[in-house]
């Protein structure tokens, strides 16, 4: 790396900045990498802690899903520390790269599902475009402000393929006068003249005792303190003032945006590294609660386990913020006066936890099961994953129509939903 080359170059305009970025783009180092060295290369190029780059990629993975696509692009278009060109350029035959062509083709193929994740619809509409715009803007600003630092030196041409080198197995004629076993230029030898006196070596200086440096006291940076204060204020305002319109996911996302801003400022000022430990769990909360509706799930925390035997003992609505709901309807006696329509409607909702309903073997059940993050198994149908849709159906049992009728609407934000028959 060369920290002074091009240090005085003045970049005029957007086009000049982009051209200079491509000419002096980061190189992926062989040491300090976790996967391919993309984050380490960008961090070393612009004098930023690589951990900040890695956390930003993780946040971009949750916030719009663009993180894997950005990493793959960096792997394809950033050359290695000892490479002539990037893996994609080497695939086109423009130079040599340590990345094999087979791996490069696999990386190109992986870009299709990665970009599909980013732009195919996530928990935040348009998050992929926003994340990609943030990446481009951050790279542009970093190169404008720090492009003169640690400018890489291009690898020597012919490092991987020297067209003048003889083919393996070619016999070399050693009888010629210009043959040299060392492959050196005979005119380049500089032998000492025996008549030239050899100067005496300089006197050795006495060894100095090592100086003990005072230990620097590590303290929390001002950027970290200010960012944490703003994050707490943001979480409090969005959770209380906007409680009717914002759910837990929106509160976590707003708090994460404040922490991300602090990390970005700290990347240029050399502080705020401790914000990573707050940003990662906040991002996880934002993803896990992304399916929660505005206002959240009421009902408190705990378990509801009931086996109602009469219509009076049956609550038609069960709710829990966190916990479990387990209702057994096999011993329920149908009362035509309490259910004049003949169908018993029951709803159950839980924010984080499981919902289990057990119905009689001969019951006619119409169900609407939703597990936004988790799995739903309702009378022979099942689905699992993240951001699931409702599982809707009707099941009359093995005996067909004629038994007790139930209409179940079950929903969990994070957890499992199950409707099963007795026995």
pLDDT at 366: 93
DSSP H or E run through 237? helix 222-240
> Is it the case that residue 29 has pLDDT exceeding 80?
yes
Say if residue 422's pLDDT is above 80. yes
Q: How many CA atoms lie within 13 A of 23 on its CB side?
A: 11
Mean pLDDT of the chain: 77
Question: What is the per-residue pLDDT for 354?
Answer: 93
Which of 158-172, 275-289, 371-385 bottoms out in mean pLDDT, i.e. has the lowest?
Answer: 158-172
First to last CA, the chain: 71
Q: Which residues contact 296 (CB under 8 A, 6 or more apart)?
A: 247, 248, 321, 351
- The answer to whether the beta carbons of residues 40 and 28 sit under 8 Å apart is yes
What's the angle, vertex CA 137, arms to CA 134 and CA 143, rounded to 5?
135
Whether residue 332 contacts residue 363, with contact meaning beta carbons closer than 8 Å, is answered with: no
Please provide residue 349's backbone torsions phi and psi, each rounded to the nearest 5 degrees.
Answer: -140, 135
334 or 366, which is more confident?
A: 366
pLDDT grade for 11, boundaries at 50, 70 and 90:
low
Distances (CA, A) of 369 to 64, 301, 413: 27, 21, 11
Average pLDDT over every residue of 387-402: 85
pLDDT class of 324 with cuts at 50, 70, 90: very high
352-383: buried (b, 16+ CB within 10 Å) or exposed (e) per residue? Answer: bbbbbbbbbebbbbbbbbbbbbbbbbbbeeeb
Residue 198 is classified by DSSP as P
Q: Which letter does DSSP use for residue 91 in this model?
A: H
Confidence of residue 377 (pLDDT cuts 50, 70, 90): very high
The percent of residues above 70 in pLDDT, for the chain, comes to 70
pLDDT at 355 > cutoff 90:
yes
On the question of pLDDT at 68 being above 50, the answer is yes
pLDDT at 56 over 80: yes
CA 388 → CA 41, 91, 283, distances in Å? 38, 40, 20
> What is the mean predicted confidence (pLDDT) over 122-127?
50
At 165 the pLDDT is 46
Which SS3 state, helix, strand or coil, does residue 197 take? coil
Distance (Å, whole) CA 136 – CA 116 = 19
């Amino acid at each position: 790396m060369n920290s002074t080359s091009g240090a005085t170059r003045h970049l005029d305009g957007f086009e000049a900045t982009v051209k200079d970025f491509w000419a002096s783009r980061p190189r992926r180092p062989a040491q300090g990498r976790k996967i391919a060295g993309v984050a380490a290369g960008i961090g070393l190029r612009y004098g930023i802690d690589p951990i900040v780059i890695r956390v930003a990629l993780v946040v971009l993975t949750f916030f719009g899903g663009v993180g894997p696509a950005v990493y793959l692009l960096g792997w394809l278009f950033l050359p290695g520390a000892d490479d002539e060109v990037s893996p994609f350029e080497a695939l086109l035959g423009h130079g040599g790269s340590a990345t094999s062509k087979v791996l490069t083709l696999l990386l190109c193929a992986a870009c299709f599902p990665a970009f599909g994740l980013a732009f195919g619809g996530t928990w935040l509409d348009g998050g992929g475009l926003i994340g990609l715009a943030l990446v481009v803007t951050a790279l542009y600003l970093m190169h404008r402000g720090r492009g003169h630092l640690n400018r890489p030196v291009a690898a020597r041409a012919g490092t991987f393929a020297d067209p003048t080198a003889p083919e393996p197995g070619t016999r070399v004629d050693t009888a010629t006068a210009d043959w040299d076993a060392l492959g050196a230029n005979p005119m380049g030898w500089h032998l000492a003249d025996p008549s030239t006196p050899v100067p005496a070596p300089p006197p050795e200086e006495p060894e100095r005792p090592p100086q003990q440096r005072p230990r620097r006291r590590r303290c929390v940076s001002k950027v970290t303190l200010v960012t944490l204060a703003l994050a707490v204020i943001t979480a409090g305002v969005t959770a209380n003032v906007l409680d009717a319109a914002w759910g837990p996911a929106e509160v976590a996302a707003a708090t994460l945006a404040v922490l991300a801003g602090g990390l970005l400022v700290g990347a240029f000022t050399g502080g705020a590294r401790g914000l990573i430990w707050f940003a990662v769990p906040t991002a996880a909360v934002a993803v896990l609660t992304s399916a929660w509706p505005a206002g959240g799930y009421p009902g408190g925390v705990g378990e509801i386990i009931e086996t109602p035997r009469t219509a009076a003992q049956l609550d038609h609505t069960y709710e829990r913020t966190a916990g479990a709901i387990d209702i057994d309807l096999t011993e329920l006696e149908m009362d035509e006066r309490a259910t004049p329509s003949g169908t018993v409607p029951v709803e159950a909702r839980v924010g984080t936890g499981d919902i289990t309903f057990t119905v009689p073997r001969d019951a006619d059940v119409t169900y609407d099961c939703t597990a936004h993050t988790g799995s739903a198994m309702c009378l022979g149908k099942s689905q699992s994953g993240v951001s699931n849709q409702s599982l809707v159906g009707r099941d009359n049992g093995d005996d067909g129509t004629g038994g007790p009728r139930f209409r179940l609407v079950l929903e969990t934000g994070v957890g499992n939903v199950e409707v099963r028959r007795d026995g």
